[in-house]
Amino acid sequence: MSAQYTLVVGTKNWSSWSLRPYLALRATGAPFEEVVIQLRRSESPSTKEQIQKYSPAGRVPVLKIEENGSATSVWDSLAICETLAERHPEAKLWPADAHARALARSYAAEMHSGFPDLREQLSMDFARKTPAPQLREATQEQVARVLESWEGALAKYETGGGFLFGTFSVADCMYGPVVSRFLTYGIKMPAASQRYAERIMALPAMKDWGAAAKAEVESGIA
Ligand SMILES: N[C@@H](CCC(=O)N[C@@H](CS)C(=O)NCC(=O)O)C(=O)O
């Protein structure tokens, strides 16, 4: 019997960390259930109370895997992406080439552990278009670093499938929400990055996430 997956995510308009493993899970093609927890909710049941039912770390995303009578919870976006890559080798969530794979891992890890000013000043607001705030110097440097790294990867691998390392990989999962942020705040991108952004936004998974985010905004919960 195949595993049953449940992905626990936060409010889709805001939860960039949740979008990352969602993109990976969609890329596997495996069926899954979804639980959406409302972020920034203080009244009962608060965000904290709701997340605690699923996550020992008190954060989303969480992937629950039920299989052979037992259940495992995997938390943290990168750990979930790694777990999915291992469980679904056919999805090729890491590049086949060892050199490209090492680079893709670096890209994913750099996003996961870095860019604090970009994350704070250009927080994900998927369904909205908003003028960018006055960007601090550190934020400007981090935006430039993202674009420089995209341009570098695309110069070498774009022709192999259009994504950072050719075909869609965990590196793209990690940067998908950054594409959304750049579009929300009208960040100017060089040509290859602009094409990359268009390809990411055209993914059916991004479109579905965007439709759900729009519904959240329209209903006033985000
Ligand atoms: N390093 C974690 C970060 C997860 C995270 O910060 N998630 C936010 C939502 S995007 C959260 O759960 N916040 C809890 C809250 O708002 O109470 C990951 O990569 O999954």
User: Closest by alpha carbon to 173, among 34, 24, 25, 30?
Assistant: 24
pTM greater than 0.95 (yes/no): yes
Domains within the chain, CATH numbers bracketed? 4-90 (3.40.30.10), 92-205 (1.20.1050.10)
Query: From the CA of 121, how far away is ligand 1's center (Å)?
Result: 16
176 lines ligand 1 (CB under 6 A): no
**Site to substitute for ligand 1 among 23, 59, 178, most atoms within 8 A of C-beta:** 59
pLDDT in tens, 43-71: 999 999 999 999 989 999 999 999 999 99
50 lines ligand 1 (CB under 6 A): no
Average pLDDT over residues 137-149: 98
Residue 56: what pLDDT?
83
pLDDT in tens, 72-89: 999 999 999 999 999 999
Q: Which two tokens stand for residue 34?
A: 């979804």
Query: From the CA of 59, how far away is ligand 1's center (Å)?
Result: 4
Residue 1: what pLDDT?
53
Q: In this structure, what is the dihedral angle of CA atoms 160, 165, 170, 171, given to the nearest 10 degrees? A: -140
Burial of 95 (0-12, 13-18, 19+ CB in 10 A): buried
Residue 2: what pLDDT?
82
User: Closest by alpha carbon to 83, among 65, 108, 104, 56?
Assistant: 65
